[in-house]
Amino acid sequence: MCSNGFDSTNCFRMEELETNLSPFLHKLFKEWDDRKARGLFHHDITTCETKVLPGEHNFVATLIEGRDQKKRPTEFGMNQVLQPFHSEKFNFTKVKPQEVIFRFQETENDSAQYFDGAPPTVSASPSSILINVSPIGYCHVLLVPRVQECLPQRVDQESFLLAMYVAKEARNPFFRVGYNSLGAFATINHLHFQAYYLKVQYPVEKAPTEELTVVGNGVSISQLVQYPVSGFVFEGGASLEDLSQVVSNACIFLQENNRPFNVLISESAKRVFLLLQCYAEKQTSGKASQEFLDMRINPAVWELSGHLVLKRRNDYDEASEATLCSFLVEASLSGPEFQELKRCVLESLASASPE
């Protein structure tokens, strides 16, 4: 138990989870535990040390020694957000059948139905939920829309709405859905989202915000303030579909302009964080500090949101808010860069907004 009352065993163990789970999460947790019992993961996340750091933000740090050496390697350049799909490289049509948890599709009514005993293959359904074999949290899974279509890692309206529906179906604020663009530490160029359960509030979720505008369908757009990462916060709207459309429009604008980004779908799809970064560019241009390169932190959506995975025991033991803040500031856009990009994003959304 940390001094601030955060018990690192609680967030990763099924028996410590809430009893009032939605049918979707109950079944997802059960199936994920089954894959864990079968030894399908590269490490046991339930035994990994986790702590909340003291300070203003209360960053969450998890120690997974050597995780970067066990993960599937990145097989594409980091300088282009949009790249074509290459079937010869690893993609999710090549996963082992036992890594598939769900195959699913939308129905014409509003009720969810679950069928046991379906054949364990990704070929028979347009979308799948798979285990992440290198998890950083309890029930870490991958959502792969229309898997057999072999879509590259790029946001489209339909797929983003699917991710929003999954977050809503969970009905739990501690189960978030995330997205990493290419150039923002997605490691596989096959369209996918990630999700996992962590029973703690992320630092980005409690960061102050400043409202920027409200678009035509009632979606409020704010910016993060007093947080080391630059980004937008979207909420409201007449419907979940309205909110999803505005966020996906912003993502599409960014990817078409080769600007890396990460997305956190929070509070059961009631709030969405769009986070901007340039760390891969700094790495390739030699502008990243050696101290942080040595730590081997890849600032994907979870790290930018405040849950950072550390790979060396010394980094974990000595982790401080000051060090992690400095890293996130380096990964994020500078103030002037964000201001210019903010202007372009808001202009794009205003032109796309219905009157």
Return the ∠ at Cα 209 (arms to 207 and 215), rounded to 5°. 140
Helices (H), 123-239: 157-170
Strand pairing partners for 115? none
Q: Compute CA 278 distance to the chain's CA centroid, rounded to the nearest angstrom.
A: 17
**Rg of the Cα atoms in the chain:** 19
- Tell me which H or E stretch contains 195: strand 193-197
**Class of residue 125 by CB neighbours under 10 A (exposed 0-12, middle 13-18, buried 19+):** middle
Decide if 355 contacts 216 (C-beta within 8 A).
Answer: yes
Residue 278 dihedral angles phi and psi, to the nearest 5°: -145, 25
Q: CA–CA distance from 251 to each of 34, 190, 241, 345 (Å)? A: 35, 17, 15, 9
Active site residue 26: no
Q: CA–CA distance from 46 to each of 8, 16, 289 (Å)? A: 9, 11, 32
Q: Following DSSP, what letter does each residue of 292-340 receive, concatenated?
A: HHHHT----HHHHHTEEEE-SHHHHHT--HHHHHHHHHHHBPPHHHHHH
Residue type at 138 in one-letter notation: Y
In this structure, the dihedral spanned by the alpha carbons of residues 124, 141, 264 and 52, taken in order and rounded to 10 degrees, is 170
Decide if 19 contacts 26 (C-beta within 8 A).
Answer: no
Residue type at 290 in one-letter notation: Q
Q: Could you say which of 140, 190, 192, 307 is catalytic?
A: 192
CA atoms within 13 A on the CB side of 164: 24
Q: For residue 265, how many other CB atoms are within 10 A of its CB?
A: 29
Active-site positions? 192
